[in-house]
Amino acid sequence: MRARRGDRMTINIQEHMAINVCPGPIRPIRQISDYFPRLGPGPEGGGRDFREAPARLAPLALAPPAALLGATTPEDGAEVDSYDSDDTTALGMLEFDLLYDQASCTLHCSILRAKGLKPMDFNGLADPYVKLHLLPGACKANKLKTKTQRNTLNPVWNEDLTYSGITDQDITHKVLRISVCDEDKLSHNEFIGEIRVPLRRLKPSQKKHFNICLERQVPLASPSSMSAALRGISCYLKELEQAEQGPGLLEERGRILLSLSYSSRRRGLLVGIVRCAHLAAMDVNGYSDPYVKTYLRPDVDKKSKHKTCVKKKTLNPEFNEDFFYEMELSALATKTLEVTVWDYDIGKSNDFIGGVSLGPGARGEARKHWSDCLQQPDAALERWHTLTSELPPAAGALPSASA
């Protein structure tokens, strides 16, 4: 049947799909680029059949991913990463100051302002805030946070955040991670960008100013949101990182400021529990109810136990309590002072937060503090010490651990 002039010819769906989807014979994937001829200015660019495979064209599947995304290749003189080439400008810039006070063992972080942050909300703005972490270490124990600035891409904070108990050893091997996030009340907060500053770049008592572009470091997903394969890879990477850092690596649980002094007049050791800083949170409210216990080992008579009062709902308690051990100076050379911090719980066993041992068998700053105390009688020596997750065997066996 012939169609009349002016009538619209109808095509069924089978013919339509055959026309649009099957223009020719099926070819291998490596020759799919032949369907998109690149016509050059040369004489061969105009009249060649597009189905003829030009030998000088590289297969599309062999092209590097960076070229497909428009990123700069190494031949162009720029470094290739796994993100867009304009990440350093699209995420924004952060301006801040850092000051390490060696005398007071504090690290002062002044978060000033940010400019040109990446929009995170539907209105084209963001609700940014800044988080600080000291790495390596327990993230929750040493996290500091600024206030949130609402509906702005150029926030101004001018806030001072302070880390206490920072020693020269921390300056040599720790890194300060500064993260900028967007607060979202209806869902999870979103990560914008971060900066990592090795503390070894700081000089004692000299303020250093920074104005750096934010970098994109994708945080590791939570175990509940990962597949079994990803959880296995995550555990493997974590174990590999711990193996590279050393077999004796222990988790940090905070800091404690101790004062040691041997009194020649009273013939005994005076132990001062001054304060703790950045303790690990053990309760569901994000805080702890800490108290401190001390023992002088070996303790044959089991009379060396001392305990401070409990400080409610804090990660930075101040105790200012002194304990006295009556003993000759020569006998202290074979003793070990064990200091443990606990979280008080009603109706169940108390949680161990962290501990440190000072004595001839200790290492690093703990051993030096003990030896200086014995060599300098009647001198009060205050030092910061790192609390680790290692529980002294004797402390774990004591029934008083739940009291």
Is residue 31 predicted with pLDDT exceeding 60? no
- The pLDDT of 52-70, averaged and rounded, is 41
pLDDT of res. 352 = 92
The radius of gyration computed from the CA coordinates of the chain, to the nearest angstrom, equals 32
Is residue 69 predicted with pLDDT exceeding 90? no
Band of pLDDT at residue 309, cut at 50, 70 and 90? very high
Comparing 85-99, 155-169, 297-311, which segment has the lowest mean pLDDT? 85-99
Is residue 52 predicted with pLDDT exceeding 90? no
Instruction: List 291's β-bridge partners, or say none.
Output: 342
Comparing 74-83, 159-168, 319-328, 379-388, which segment has the lowest mean pLDDT? 74-83
Band of pLDDT at residue 139, cut at 50, 70 and 90? low
- Check residues 166 and 30 and name the one with the higher pLDDT: 166
Is residue 314 predicted with pLDDT exceeding 60? yes
- The pLDDT of 305-321, averaged and rounded, is 94
pLDDT of res. 15 = 55
* pLDDT tens readout for residues 211-235: 989 988 744 444 444 555 454 544 4
CATH 3.40.605.10 fits 92-214, yes or no: no
pLDDT of res. 3 = 54
The dihedral sign for the CA sequence 112, 118, 122, 124: positive
Whole-angstrom CA distances from 85 to 77, 82, 91, 172, 215 are 13, 9, 11, 32, 11
pLDDT of res. 396 = 44
Separation between Cα atoms, residue 324 and residue 20, nearest integer Å: 91
- The pLDDT of 231-255, averaged and rounded, is 55
Is residue 362 predicted with pLDDT exceeding 50? yes
400, 349 contact by CB (below 8 A): no
Tell me if domain 92-214 and domain 254-387 are identical in fold. yes
Separation between Cα atoms, residue 260 and residue 271, nearest integer Å: 5
Band of pLDDT at residue 301, cut at 50, 70 and 90? confident
Average pLDDT, the chain: 76
The dihedral sign for the CA sequence 307, 310, 314, 316: negative
Burial, 371: exposed, middle or buried (Cβ in 10 Å; 0-12, 13-18, 19+)?
middle
pLDDT of res. 399 = 39
- The pLDDT of 260-267, averaged and rounded, is 92
- Check residues 184 and 136 and name the one with the higher pLDDT: 184
Comparing 24-33, 118-127, 368-377, which segment has the lowest mean pLDDT? 24-33
Is residue 79 predicted with pLDDT exceeding 90? no
pLDDT of res. 187 = 82
What is the CB-side half-sphere exposure of residue 290 using CA atoms within 13 A? 31
pLDDT of res. 86 = 42
Band of pLDDT at residue 342, cut at 50, 70 and 90? very high
pLDDT of res. 169 = 85
Comparing 53-62, 329-338, 361-370, which segment has the lowest mean pLDDT? 53-62
Is residue 341 predicted with pLDDT exceeding 60? yes
* pLDDT tens readout for residues 347-358: 888 899 999 999
Is residue 45 predicted with pLDDT exceeding 50? no
Domains of the chain, by residue range, sit at 92-214, 254-387
pLDDT of res. 356 = 93
pLDDT of res. 89 = 55
Separation between Cα atoms, residue 217 and residue 205, nearest integer Å: 31
Residue 222 phi/psi, 5° resolution?
Answer: -70, 150
Is residue 81 predicted with pLDDT exceeding 50? no
Q: What superfamily would CATH give domain 254-387?
A: C2 domain (2.60.40.150)
